[in-house]
Structure 1
């Protein structure tokens, strides 16, 4: 088993960015230690796009729910099975929370499969209702100030702390996702099922209910995240395909293009 350091705090793995992009910055904050079962991180983008232009941000989202508050909207976002695309214009900011896999269903009060690929207003999530105004008031003062970020994080953490400690199933779904994300040798649902000590059908029902996604999706998404990193310094597409567990370069190319809209070669060319 090859376990690698937890790199889920690296936005770059999921963000299909162009290295020439200079319109935004992203600050990140870890959650308090006792809330890591519910929160992965906070992220705070600040952007300044020249008048008359726009900047599309494409993200291979992690299998988790998010919240994002900006001056224009405040949303709770379910896991996106494809590529999430957001267009930035003008000068503005966002305050975002990436929740842990277990948090989505607990916050929504129903299976995450009902929210996958969609969003609702933040105020429609009972545990988070009423946060939009205070966060906007704080962020408007100084959107790039780490102290402001800390105060916004504290507001949200106060709400999440009311969930109490994660229960057995919460810990299980967090562990399922962590195993897939960190072990590059996990390439099949059968391997994952054996690792977790539960049947494949039980695993399928668990991930669909708690994440709105299948176990196979988790593995494919991990491979695409790995690909987005590997393509930035790749010398051989065929070698990279093998390292990622694909049968050949053609299968890798089809999977990457279907998911991102770019061929591996087109994405790699951005980084040359």
Structure 2
């Protein structure tokens, strides 16, 4: 199994600060799983004799199957898309290992509408039955991280579903929402793919678990946080107004409101903190 070079850190709020407290590694899935699984990941930390740390995550619209081993105990959980965001409390020594499914990639395994899973989690055994419980048994006694990834992968390969054209369509649409800066409204998405707005909304509810509007807003706010951390902002009110417009907001006030609701501080305060001024 090949370790994937860590490139994108978007969504990990102030990743540079977090990487001083934990290690993040990623592994590529088997080619047969690529339509369903984006990657496997490991987070490990050792904060013994150090203060606790809270890492804020602006999650992607993806389901994750996560194996936990920390101060709260051990277990595995299937997490729906967190809303509005997710904060991980790191304490003492701990580690988590997960499979990140592509947007739409969990549905062929789950075969249920994903909307009820959004903002919640269920145990691995509840999600996958006795076979899922067997994957969890002795997971942290395996010799290394590659062995852990292979155990998850073997399970997923044994249950390899047929490709689902609608799930693949949902993933392509989500990808376009990341890559195409001209797409700023749900209507834009629907028109780009020749769908009605209601059809698009039903597709996302079933296969992604959140609305197209949620996905657009999340990606734009992820981008905003990343750019502010890099200092990419002009000075003065005009700079903020232009910044909001670049992100697809028609006015600065709505951008500030959404940003503060998700990250707990105004964009200006966030930029100042990123510069080490607050």
Report the TM range for the smaller structure's normalisation: 0.7 to 0.9
Which consecutive unaligned segments of at least 5 residues does structure 2 have?
1-5, 235-239
2:46 aligned residue (48, 51, 66):
48
In structure 2, the partner of 1:118 is 120
Q: TM-score, normalised by structure 1?
A: 0.87
Matched, 1:132 2:136: yes
Matched, 1:185 2:179: no
Mapped to 1, the partners of 2:42 and 2:87 lie a distance apart of 17
In structure 2, the partner of 1:228 is 225
TM superposition shift of 1:187: 0.4
In structure 2, the partner of 1:144 is none
TM superposition shift of 1:52: 6.5
Mapped to 1, the partners of 2:111 and 2:161 lie a distance apart of 15
Which consecutive unaligned segments of at least 5 residues does structure 1 have?
1-8, 142-147
Matched, 1:96 2:87: no
2:266 aligned residue (260, 263, 266):
263
Tell whether the 8 Å contact from 2:78 to 2:121 is kept in structure 1 after alignment.
yes
Mapped to 1, the partners of 2:87 and 2:7 lie a distance apart of 18
Number of residue pairs matched by the alignment:
256
TM superposition shift of 1:106: 2.8
In structure 2, the partner of 1:152 is 148
CA root-mean-square deviation = 1.9
- Larger RCO (CA within 8 A; separation ≥ 6): 1
Show structure 1 runs of 4+ deviating over 3 A: 18-21
Mapped to 1, the partners of 2:93 and 2:29 lie a distance apart of 27
How do residues 193-208 of structure 1 correspond to structure 2 at under 5 angstroms? 193-208=190-205
